[in-house]
Structure 1
Amino acid sequence: MFPASTQSKYWTFSDESDLNRFRQETNMNFIMKHGTNMTEEQRDATFLSAVEERLLLRQHELQLRDFCKHFSPAMPRSVIGTTFHYFKRFYAHNSVMDYHPKEILVTCAYLACKVEEFNVSISQFVANIKGDREKATDIILNNELLLMQQLNYHLTVHNPFRPMEGLLIDIKTRSSLRDPERLRPCVEDLLERSFLTDACVLYAPSQIALAAILHSASKVQENLDSYVTETLFGQHGADKLASLIECVRKIRTMMRNVETVTPPRDTMRQLEKKLEKCRNQENNPASQV
C-alpha cells in the first residue's frame, strides 16, 4: 500500500539534502518577497535564517509532542503520527514567518483527529488548549482549509506502528528470539522519538519500524541480523539488502542523536521576538492588517 500512496510519491524526500534544499528555498522565497528593497545586511537583521526557522520548529515540535501526550481523552498513536506528518509537510513548503507554528500545530492535530477517525468535537479539542479557547477555535477552523490545501489534500498517512506489529508477529513466528514482546517498550519509545527527527518524511514506515526493532534488540543484547538477511529477505531479496541496511543504519543514527531537550530559553526568546517583528501580518489573527 505504501509504495503506491501519495505519501510515497509526493511526501517522501530522497535524502536530507533534498529536504533541506526545500526548506532553504522556502526561507529565501519569503525573504526575497518581503525584503525586496532591503540590503543584504538589513535582511539578515530583519528576517529569520533557515537555521533559525529549524530551531523554532524544533521548539514547537516538542510542544506538539507534549500537547499530544497530555491530550484528553488519550490520543491514539496513529493520530500523533499523522499530526507530525502534517506539521513537517506543511513547513517543507511554508515559512514560519508566513504562518506561526503555534497556530499550525493545533490545526494539524485537529485535522489528524478527523482523518484518523478519533472522534472529538471542536469544543472537546480546545478544552486541551490553555488560554482563550474561543480564539483558538477560530484559528483552527480558519486554518483547516489552508492546511488541507498546502498538503494538496493528501491526507492519508501510513505510520510505522502497523509494520511494527507485523514484524513482531513475524519475529515470534519465524525467528529464534526469546520473548520478542520484551522489545515492545523500547520500540514504541523509539518510534515516538522518530517523529522528532525527519525520518517520517525520508523513509518508508516499514524501514522505520525495522530500524526501531533492530535498535531495541541490540539494547537487550540480542541479534536479529540472521532473521533479516535469511528469513525476512531470503535469497530473492538479496539485491535490496544493501540499501535496506544503509537505510536502517541512518534511521538508527537519527533516533540515537535526536535532541529531546528544549533549546536554550534565552535563544528561543530572542527568536520568538524576531519572529513577531518579521512575520507576515496578513496571516496574523491578532494584526489589524
Structure 2
Amino acid sequence: MAVQRAQGPPKPPQGPPVQLYHQSSQYRHWRYSKEDLDKVRSELNEHAVSRVRSLWEEERAQQAVQDTPTPVAGSSADGTASEGPSQPATPPPPADIEYLTVADEQALVSYYLTQIVALCNAFKFPEMVLATAMSYLKRFYLRNTAMDYHPRNIMLTCVFLATKTENFPISIDTFAAKVKTPPAGILSLEFLVSQSLHFEYKVHHAHVALSGLVLDMQTAGVPAASLTSALPRAHAQLRASRLSPAELVYSPAQIALACMRAADRESVETWLGVKEGKKDAAERRREEVNAQRKGKGKDGGEGLATPQGDGEGSQSDEPPALEHAALLRLLDEIQAMVQDAQKNVVDKARATEIDKRLKWARNPEKDPKSALYKKRQAEEQAQREEKERAKAAKRPPQDDGSVFD
C-alpha cells in the first residue's frame, strides 16, 4: 500500500496582505465622504423636525382632550430640569417652535464628547474605553437625533457599554452612584444604543495605528530622539481629532500619520522618502521581470507574457509622484479638520443655550410627563392585556403547559 505524503500547511494567499481595518464593519458601515456625511446628518435632521412638529400637534390635541395641559420639562446642559427666563410655561404652537438645526445638534454632541473625556479621566478608565465611548456617541447620532434622545443620557450609556466591550468592567451600582443617575436609566438605553450601532462594538482607533507607525518609522531610520520628542504632541493631536468627524471620513492609519506629521513634519517626510525609495526599487524590479518575460516570448516562441499583478489595489496606475502628492493633500485635509475642532470647542454656555430650545424642540413621545407619552403607554398596556386575554381564551382548562407561555 502506497503511503500518502503529508500535504503540509496550506500555502499563504498570493498578493499583499489585506489590513484588518478594510475587512471590518467600521470600514464597510461607518466610513463616509464629507458630502455623504453632511447629507446623512441633514436628512436625519429634516425628518426629525417634521416628525417632532407633527407629534407636538398631536400632543396639543391630546392635552385639549384631557383639558389639563402638561408642560414638558426641559433639561440643562448637565441633564437637570431647567426653566429659561424667556421660556413660556406652556409649549408654543408647533409652527413657532425653534427646532434644532444640524449645527445645533452637532454642537450639543460635541459638548458631550468633551464630557466623556472628563468622565473617563475621573474614573481613570484606559484610553481604549474613552476612545470607544466617543466613537459610540458619534455613531449613535448618525442614526438618531438629539431631539429624540438627549446626549447626556446616551453619553452615560455609551461610556458604560464601552467599559464592557473593551474588557474593563465596572459594576453598574458603582458607576451610577458616581454619575448620580439611577442604574435603570443607564441600562434601559443599552439595547437602543446597541441597535443604533448595529451591534458592531469593535472600533479601530488611530492611537493604536500611531503605535505601529512609530515602530515602522524607527525601522526606517528616523532618529529615536525625534520620535520621543514628537510623540506627546502627536497624542495631543489625536485627542483633538476625537472631537472632530475625522474617524467617520478617514482611516485610523491616515489620522495617525496626519497627527504625527503635525507634531514632526521632518520625521514624517524622511519616513515617506524611505517608503517611496523602496517602492521605486520594487517598480524597477517589476519592469526588469516583465522585460525578461517579453524577451523569452520572442526567443522561445511563447508569445508575450502578461505581467502578474498582486491583486486588486496592489498597484496603482498613477506614478509615485502623483500618489505622494495626493497623500499630502489628504494629510492636509485631516490636519485642517483637527485644527478646526481645536479652535471651535463647544463650551457649556453654548450647550445650555441649545438645551433651552431643546425644551420644546424635543420629541414629546419620549417625555414621561407628556400627555402623548401617557397615551402611548396606555395603548401599549391595552395591547398587552388583549394578547393575554386572547391566549387565555385559546388555552384548554387546567392546562399545565400555560406556565411556559
- Indicate the TM-score class for this superposition, using the shorter chain for normalisation: 0.7 to 0.9
Kindly provide the CA deviation profile for residues 39-85 of structure 1, in whole angstroms up to 9, marking residues without a partner as x: 9x9546331111211221222222222112222xx211111111111
Is the contact made by 1:31 and 1:43 (CA closer than 8 Å) also made in structure 2?
no
Which residues of structure 2 form unaligned runs of 5+? 1-19, 58-92, 283-314, 374-405
| Amino acid across the alignment from 1:281 | P
Change (3 A) 1:267 1:188: closer
* Distance in 2 of aligned mates of 1:94 and 1:42: 21
* Distance in 1 of aligned mates of 2:267 and 2:30: 33
Residue 188 of structure 1 pairs with residue 228 of structure 2: no
Residue 69 of structure 1 pairs with residue 121 of structure 2: yes
* Distance in 2 of aligned mates of 1:80 and 1:34: 32
Change (3 A) 1:264 1:174: closer
Change (3 A) 1:120 1:37: closer
Match of 1:104 among 133, 154, 159: 154
Q: Give me the identity figure in percent.
A: 28
Describe the SS at the equivalent of 2:188.
Answer: helix
* Distance in 2 of aligned mates of 1:50 and 1:99: 15
Match of 1:151 among 187, 191, 197: 197
Taking structure 1 as the reference length, what is the TM-score of the superposition?
A: 0.87
Is the contact made by 2:137 and 2:155 (CA closer than 8 Å) also made in structure 1?
yes
Which residues of structure 1 form unaligned runs of 5+? none
Match of 1:9 among 28, 50, 55: 28
Is the contact made by 1:62 and 1:260 (CA closer than 8 Å) also made in structure 2?
no
Is the contact made by 2:104 and 2:354 (CA closer than 8 Å) also made in structure 1?
yes
| Amino acid across the alignment from 2:117 | R
Is the contact made by 1:229 and 1:241 (CA closer than 8 Å) also made in structure 2?
no
Is the contact made by 1:207 and 1:248 (CA closer than 8 Å) also made in structure 2?
yes
* Distance in 2 of aligned mates of 1:267 and 1:75: 28
Larger Rg: 2
Match of 1:56 among 84, 108, 116: 108
Is the contact made by 2:55 and 2:365 (CA closer than 8 Å) also made in structure 1?
no
1:1-289 to 2 correspondence within 5 Å? Answer: 1-14=20-33, 16-36=34-54, 43=95, 45-71=97-123, 74-129=124-179, 131=180, 133=181, 135=182, 137-179=183-225, 180-218=227-265, 222-231=266-275, 234-235=279-280, 238=320, 240-259=323-342, 263=346, 266-284=349-367, 289=373
Is the contact made by 2:222 and 2:270 (CA closer than 8 Å) also made in structure 1?
no
Kindly provide the CA deviation profile for residues 196-227 of structure 1, in whole angstroms up to 9, marking residues without a partner as x: 01111111111111111111113xxx342131
* Distance in 1 of aligned mates of 2:160 and 2:254: 27
* Distance in 1 of aligned mates of 2:328 and 2:96: 41
| Amino acid across the alignment from 2:202 | T
Describe the SS at the equivalent of 1:92.
Answer: coil
Change (3 A) 1:217 1:43: farther
Is the contact made by 1:186 and 1:216 (CA closer than 8 Å) also made in structure 2?
yes
Kindly provide the CA deviation profile for residues 85-138 of structure 1, in whole angstroms up to 9, marking residues without a partner as x: 111111112110001000001111111111111121112322431x3x3x2x11
- Give the number of equivalent residue pairs: 278
| Amino acid across the alignment from 1:149 | Q
Deviates more, 1:274-283 or 1:29-38: 29-38
Is the contact made by 2:111 and 2:348 (CA closer than 8 Å) also made in structure 1?
no
Say what the alpha-carbon RMSD is for the aligned residues: 2.5
Change (3 A) 1:240 1:86: farther
Deviates more, 1:227-236 or 1:266-275: 227-236
Describe the SS at the equivalent of 2:189.
Answer: helix
Taking structure 2 as the reference length, what is the TM-score of the superposition?
A: 0.63
* Distance in 1 of aligned mates of 2:207 and 2:95: 43
* Distance in 2 of aligned mates of 1:58 and 1:260: 13
